[in-house]
């Protein structure tokens, strides 16, 4: 079924085992001074062992004024070659190949990162970084071209199989390519040939210094998704110039910093949304094209190659979620793939349970980023482990504990596994959450977890099982309506779970993630929705990219959002509120939904703690996000 994506390929002179590419993604796993350490080596080697035909490292800066972030990898001098050589040697012990992505931020940085004013084609600030850059002189442009070439020479000395020029996402080559940011009148500005000259000269410089047999990939944004930015027609034309200059492959991405929600899209954006751009570029060039953009399903990847929309598929966050994605496809274990669900939590910089753990990881698979420190070894003493609660934290703890050799019994009072992930998967564009539940269930079954549904635990029933360890993963329950009410109200979880009837005009109290997604669910049923939020803004607990698309949907549907508004009481006819202007009465609502949060549900700990070793994880311990429940489940499984 997957013969196309598993077929061998070639970029320039480099032969690849398959069509799976791990693209460049910032990991924050390098050292503070921008060097390669063991942690980042382990991170990349795990993906190499997992079967990715090509690995492209995260962006690596060629010139200090172009540094994007503290801790970004650097290749500004020969001093960095030794560290990179350790990485390439380790990757080459597998069948994978590895390219270094070389980069300069241009205007998309700030002086407090670099200690100097940013530089750019023109003195036009990035709308996100906002600092006015200094326009490069013509001589300085040629100097930076040389620095790209010198960086490629260092990459070759370090054992890399090739390099990728980061000409996408609004970095310096992209700034030259686009009339959005390039207003020059010298040979590097004006028409397409001139705007592309910086990029084509970099390619030629690398080829001159490294040889024609050292492959160069150029990464480009098919569209910039900003007013006045470059669109696909120019990208297609530019691709021809890049190929003529010597590029061995074109990698088609999307966006700039000012269109970040499109650059790092959440589940609100459909899987494979950017394939069309790769297909458009492929029609104009004869070198291989790499597609990227929420490609997280093996059948989707296979179809892209089969239909000749692209020659290679880059699995970004899917590679973070499961380093063994290609191997599992090859072995037909696709149900065992830890899925990327587009949640943008750990992969986008949010720390885990440890606030100092800020490197890239994954909500569904918290072992990512801890490749050398979280090692799942067989238990020295097999124990009987009873887990109460079949939510994500309980399921994660269950299958990992069983894999280590423990006898695991999981008690779930309902007839379904998944806990609050079940209703979380209901709103539009959230269906991929159900893939995570399915993955956990698959792994529990594989390792022999004794799952007992429709089994409500009691202290007595738990102790009757004679456990060595009890894990309480009983989750949380929605908070009750906190104000006087004369009419029935429902909670958002019951609405999403199909347990509460909705009228045609719905008032939702609470503008956090649950409230906003409940509103999206309501309008998807052709009902009207209004949201009340006490704070000055809604969605304060949401990733900005998710918030962008969610609020855009609600706004287009005419959902009214009242901020700085507090409910005082509810009568049969009105909802009395107070806002910054004073008291207001809202009328005409058929249903009132509470989305004001949850409280821990943990009825067993006090009665069990003196009888048996007992641990509490997830919302049962403290109401937080799913990332905490899953990570706590994993950490505990490593310790039992």
Residues 302 and 342: their CA atoms lie apart, in Å, by 20
Sheet holding 582-587, edge to edge: 566-570, 574-579, 582-587
Are the CB atoms for 443 and 357 separated by under 8 Å?
no
Q: Are strands 162-167 and 97-103 parallel, antiparallel or unpaired?
A: parallel
Cβ contact 205:102 at 8 Å: no
Distance of CA 485 to the CA centre of its chain: 41
Q: In this structure, what DSSP letter does residue 268 have?
A: T
Question: 72 and 30 in contact (C-beta within 8 Å)?
Answer: yes
Give CA–CA dist 92/231, Å, rounded.
38
Closest CA relative to residue 632, chosen from 356, 620, 358: 620
* Other Cβ atoms closer than 10 A to 369: 26
Strands (E) across 145-299 are located at 162-167, 216-221, 249-253, 289-292
CA distance linking residue 393 with residue 629, whole number of Å: 5
> Do residues 135 and 189 touch, judged by C-beta distance below 8 A?
no
User: φ and ψ at 10, to 5 degrees?
Assistant: -155, 135
Q: Read off φ and ψ for residue 60, nearest 5 degrees.
A: -125, 120
* HSE, side-chain direction, 13 A CA sphere, residue 329: 29
**C-alpha to C-alpha distance for 7 and 531, rounded to whole angstroms:** 51
Give the separation between CA 180 and CA 172, rounded to whole angstroms: 12
Residue 92 backbone dihedrals phi, psi, to 5 degrees: -70, -10
Catalytic residues, which ones?
A: 171
Taking a C-beta distance cutoff of 8 angstroms, is the pair 271, 230 a contact?
A: no
User: Do 267 and 430 touch, CB atoms closer than 8 A?
Assistant: yes
Token digits of residue 186: 């010298």
Q: How far does CA 531 lie from the centroid of its chain?
A: 28
Query: DSSP secondary-structure letter at 596?
Result: S
Residue by residue, what is the 3-state secondary structure of 440-500?
Answer: HHHHHHHCCCEEECCCCCCHHHHHHCCCCEEEECCCEEECCCCCCECCCCEEHHHHHCCCC
- Rounded to the nearest 5 percent, the helix, strand and coil shares of the chain are 35, 20, 50
Q: Cβ–Cβ contacts within 10 Å for residue 611, how many?
A: 12
């Amino acid at each position: 079924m997957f013969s196309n994506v598993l077929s061998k390929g070639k970029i320039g002179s480099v032969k690849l085992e398959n069509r799976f590419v791990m693209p460049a993604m910032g990991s924050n796993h390098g050292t503070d001074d921008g060097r390669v350490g063991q942690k980042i080596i382990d991170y990349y080697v795990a993906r190499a062992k997992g079967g990715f035909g090509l690995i492209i490292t995260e962006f690596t800066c060629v010139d200090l004024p172009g540094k994007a972030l503290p801790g970004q990898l650097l290749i500004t001098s020969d001093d960095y070659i030794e560290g990179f050589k350790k990485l390439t040697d380790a990757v080459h012990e597998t069948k994978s190949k590895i390219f270094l992505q070389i980069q300069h931020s241009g205007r998309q940085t700030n002086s407090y990162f670099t200690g100097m004013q940013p530089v750019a084609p023109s003195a036009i600030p990035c709308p996100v970084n906002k600092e006015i850059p200094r326009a490069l002189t013509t001589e300085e442009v040629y100097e930076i071209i040389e620095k790209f070439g010198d960086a490629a020479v260092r990459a070759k000395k370090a054992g890399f199989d090739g390099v990728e020029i980061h000409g996408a996402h609004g970095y310096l080559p992209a700034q030259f390519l686009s009339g959005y940011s390039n207003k020059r009148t010298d040979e590097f500005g004006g028409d397409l040939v001139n705007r592309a000259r910086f990029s084509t000269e970099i390619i030629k410089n690398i080829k001159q210094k490294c040889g024609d047999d050292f492959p160069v990939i150029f990464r480009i944004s098919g569209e910039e998704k900003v007013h006045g930015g470059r669109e696909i027609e120019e990208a297609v034309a530019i691709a021809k110039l890049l190929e003529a200059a010597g590029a061995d492959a074109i990698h088609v991405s999307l966006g700039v910093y000012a269109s970040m929600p499109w650059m790092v899209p959440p589940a609100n954006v459909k899987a494979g949304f950017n394939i069309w751009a790769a297909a458009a570029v492929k029609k104009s060039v004869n070198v291989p094209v790499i597609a990227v953009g929420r490609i997280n399903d093996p059948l989707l990847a296979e179809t892209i190659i089969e239909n000749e929309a692209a020659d290679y598929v880059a699995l970004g966050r899917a590679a973070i979620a499961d380093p063994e994605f290609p191997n599992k496809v090859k072995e037909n274990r696709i149900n065992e793939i830890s899925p990327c669900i587009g949640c943008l939590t750990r992969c986008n910089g949010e720390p885990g349970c440890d606030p100092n753990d800020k490197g890239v990881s994954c909500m569904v698979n918290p072992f990512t980023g801890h490749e050398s420190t979280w090692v799942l070894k067989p238990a020295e003493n097999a124990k009987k482990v009873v887990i109460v609660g079949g939510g994500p934290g309980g399921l994660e703890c269950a299958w990992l504990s069983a894999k280590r050799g423990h006898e695991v019994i999981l008690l779930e009072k309902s007839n379904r596994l998944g806990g609050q992930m079940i209703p979380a998967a209901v709103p539009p564009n959230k269906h991929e959450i159900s893939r995570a539940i399915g993955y956990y269930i698959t792994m529990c079954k594989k390792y022999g977890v004794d799952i007992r549904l429709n089994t409500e635990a009691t202290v007595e029933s738990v102790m009757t099982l004679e456990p060595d360890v009890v894990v309480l993963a009983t989750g949380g329950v929605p908070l009750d309506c906190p104000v006087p009410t004369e009419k029935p109200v429902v909670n958002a979880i019951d609405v999403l779970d199909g347990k509460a009837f909705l009228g045609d005009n719905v008032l939702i109290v609470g503008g956090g993630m649950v409230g906003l997604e409940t509103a999206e669910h309501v309008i998807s049923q052709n009902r009207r929705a209004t949201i009340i939020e006490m704070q000055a803004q809604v969605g304060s607990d949401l990733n900005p990219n998710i918030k962008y698309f969610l609020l855009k949907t609600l706004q287009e549907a005419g959902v009214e959002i009242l901020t700085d508004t507090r409910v005082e009481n509810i009568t049969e006819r009105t909802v009395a509120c107070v806002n910054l202007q004073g008291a207001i009465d809202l009328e005409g609502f058929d249903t009132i939904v509470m989305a004001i949060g949850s409280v821990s549900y943990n009825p067993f700990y006090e009665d069990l703690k003196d009888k048996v070793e007992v641990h509490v994880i997830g919302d049962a311990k403290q109401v937080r996000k799913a990332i905490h429940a899953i990570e706590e489940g994993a950490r505990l499984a490593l310790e039992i």
